[in-house]
Amino acid sequence: MKKAVLFYYSIHHGNTEKVAEEIANKLPVDLVRIPSKDPVNLEGYDLVGFASGIYMSEFGKPVSHFAEELDGLAGKPCFTIYTCGAPAGEFSGPFAELLKRKGVQIAGKWHCRGFDTYGPFKLIGGLAKGRPDKADFESAVAFVEELLK
């Protein structure tokens, strides 16, 4: 099986971190929390992932900044994962375009809903309560497992 690294950024409710940890607990995936103070070497990794919550309809700015500065991405297959409170929408596009400009191949993308109390959603008790859930975790693991084959 291939080896992967998953860079993730997760604040507020830790939705993305929960998904990333579930993946790393079940598969040969190393986790690196963004921002990372340690230098990152992509040698030895067959697959590179980026995971983020969605903030104002896009990946967190620290993830984009990190990816822009990361050396060794060209030619690597990459995947994206995100969690968001919205019931529908495709929010990985701008980040995937950034990766493509760095010369990567997008191997896949996955997302699920995540508990969200940002702004006015707090007044109604939040969106997507209880998410990510067991089914989301199983789906995320299956997604990455397929990419690792």
> Does 132 sit behind a cis peptide bond, omega within 30 degrees of 0 on the bond before it?
yes
As a whole number of angstroms, the distance between CA 129 and CA 119 comes to 15
**Average pLDDT for residues 139-143, to the nearest whole number?**
97
As a whole number of angstroms, the distance between CA 60 and CA 50 comes to 11
What is the phi-psi region of residue 146: left when phi exceeds 0, alpha when psi lies from -120 to 50, beta otherwise?
A: alpha
Residue 119, pLDDT score = 61
What residues make up the domain containing 20? 4-148
> Is 118's pLDDT higher than 80?
no
Residue 121, pLDDT score = 62
Domains: count for the chain: 1
Q: What is the pTM of this model?
A: 0.90
Residue 3, pLDDT score = 92
The CATH number assigned to the domain holding 66 equals 3.40.50.360
Q: How many angstroms separate the first and last alpha carbons of the chain?
A: 6
What pLDDT digit, counting tens, does each position of 19-55 carry? 999 999 999 999 999 988 888 899 999 999 999 988 8
As a whole number of angstroms, the distance between CA 70 and CA 73 comes to 7
What pLDDT digit, counting tens, does each position of 59-113 carry? 889 999 999 999 899 999 999 999 987 776 787 778 999 999 999 999 999 998 7
